Amino acid sequence: MSATTEAMRTVIYPVRDLEAAKALFRALLGVDPSMDEPYYAAFAVAGQHFGLDPNGHGKGMTGPVCFWDVDDIEGRLKALTDAGGETLQGVRDVGGGKLTAMVKDADGNIIGLAQAPAA
């Protein structure tokens, strides 16, 4: 594990009304979205990424999910499931080669994993 590349930098919120959520986050963060699509909106502030996912509830997200940047998403997903986690979303490409996965712990908390596109 590399302390310089593995950190929590992304929080994704499941939302039912993307337009209302964008207005709220604009007011909270004082910036416009850095990405604004019908399927996802994102805000970038001080090295942090805040995402709004209108499909999040359908993916099993029950609240905000913190995504940890990792170098080996497959290996980390296996380590988490070996430690008792349940795969909620297997590894998938969410665009441009960025990979994500989600695991649920025994208490129902969701842990997100993200891997940057290969260089």
pLDDT at 80: 97
Question: Given this model, what pLDDT does residue 5 score?
Answer: 58
Pair of tokens at residue 48: 């942090």
Domain contains 2: no
In a domain, residue 68? The reply is yes
* CATH number assigned to the domain comprising residue 33: 3.10.180.10
Residue 89 lies in a domain: yes
Asked whether residue 102 is assigned to any structural domain, the reply reads yes
Q: What is the pLDDT of residue 116?
A: 93
Q: So what's the pLDDT on residue 48? A: 93
Residue 52, judged by CB atoms within 10 A of its CB (0-12, 13-18, 19+), counts as: buried
Beta bridge partners of 11: 50, 66
pTM for the structure as a whole: 0.85
Banded model confidence at residue 3, pLDDT cuts 50, 70, 90: very low
Residues 6 or more apart whose CB falls under 8 angstroms from that of 113 comprise 67, 68, 70, 73, 76, 77, 80, 100, 101, 102, 103
Do 8 and 47 form a contact (C-beta atoms < 8 A)?
A: no
The residue range of the domain holding 103 is: 8-115
Closest CA to 103 of 95, 115, 82, 94: 82
On whether residue 103 sits in a domain, the answer given is: yes
Total domains, the chain? 1
- The answer to whether residue 75 sits within a structural domain is yes
72-102 confidence digits (pLDDT tens):
999 999 999 999 999 999 999 998 999 999 9
Span 18-65, pLDDT tens digits: 999 999 999 999 999 999 999 999 999 999 999 999 999 998 899 999
Residue 1 inside a domain? The answer is no
What confidence score (pLDDT) does residue 2 get?
43
Measured between alpha carbons, how far is 84 from 53 in angstroms, rounded to an integer? 27
